[in-house]
Amino acid sequence: MDSIGNVTVPPSPEPRPDDTVVPPDTVLPGAGVPDSFGRLWTPHRLAYIQGAGKPTGPGAHEGCPFCVAPTLTDEEGLIVARGELVYAVMNLYPYNSGHVLICPYRHLADYTDLTAAETAEFSDYTKRTIAALRAVSGPHGFNLGMNLGSVAGAGIAAHLHQHVVPRWGGDTNFMPVVGRTRVLPQLVADARKLLADAWPSQPS
Ligand SMILES: [Zn+2]
């Protein structure tokens, strides 16, 4: 037991592999005393809190998350599918459940910088993402798009990425509009697995 002031704090159990909601009074394996608090495990966010995933500069070797993701396993990098020239990855900051990004492997900022072959596979991967999302979660519609440049809203402006956001009727409500909070019923890692399993083997 650790102490903070006069409050005794039970040691934290081992981190879980992904977000897991543990209800109150659940007895967890390992050390610790169950109590009346629920737990939301978000260990994959720790790396982001600690600064990973935020580029230190505009270059490919300055911590660009879209250059780093393909060097990891599919599970670690949240990669749905890998093509020859582009890949599909879950957005860690989804606008909606199943929010996928299509990225070229090459670290380039502008859509016009894509070669003809990259453009073709970029488009093909966008279609396959739509097909996989339709297979697993039946969206009513999609938002597709690219933000070129920080001024246009690109979070990682230096590495081109296409957003594929599934939409359902009524998915925008007071929570994102007023509460600035997105309600995401599906865990990102679970969504990745579902989409990877449903990934079309042939271009559509
Ligand atoms: Zn990059």
- In this prediction, residue 8 carries a pLDDT of 42
Q: Looking at the structure, do residues 89 and 152 belong to the same domain, yes or no? A: yes
- In this prediction, residue 204 carries a pLDDT of 65
Q: Looking at the structure, do residues 72 and 104 belong to the same domain, yes or no? A: yes
> Would you say residue 105 lies in a domain?
yes
The number of beta carbons lying within 10 Å of the beta carbon of residue 143 is: 13
- In this prediction, residue 84 carries a pLDDT of 98
Ligand 1 centre to CA of 107 (Å) is 4
Q: Looking at the structure, do residues 37 and 127 belong to the same domain, yes or no? A: no
Ligand 1 centre to CA of 192 (Å) is 21
- Round to whole Å and give the CA distance between 64 and 160: 11
Q: Which ranges of the chain have pLDDT less than 50?
A: 1-19, 41, 43-52
- In this prediction, residue 63 carries a pLDDT of 80
Ligand 1 centre to CA of 56 (Å) is 12
Domain that holds residue 156: 55-198
Catalytic sites, residue numbers: 161
Q: Looking at the structure, do residues 190 and 164 belong to the same domain, yes or no? A: yes
- In this prediction, residue 83 carries a pLDDT of 97
Please list the alpha-helical segments (H only) found in 84-170: 116-137
Q: How many structural domains are present in the chain?
A: 2
- In this prediction, residue 97 carries a pLDDT of 84
Of the candidates 128, 160, 152, 159, the one whose C-alpha atom is nearest the C-alpha of residue 142 is: 128
3 state SS of 74: helix
Q: Looking at the structure, do residues 35 and 76 belong to the same domain, yes or no? A: no
* Residue pLDDT, tens place only, 67-118: 999 999 999 899 999 999 999 999 988 888 899 999 999 999 999 999 999 9
Ligand 1 centre to CA of 76 (Å) is 17
The domain that holds 68 is classified in CATH as 3.30.428.10
> Would you say residue 123 lies in a domain?
yes
- Round to whole Å and give the CA distance between 77 and 144: 22
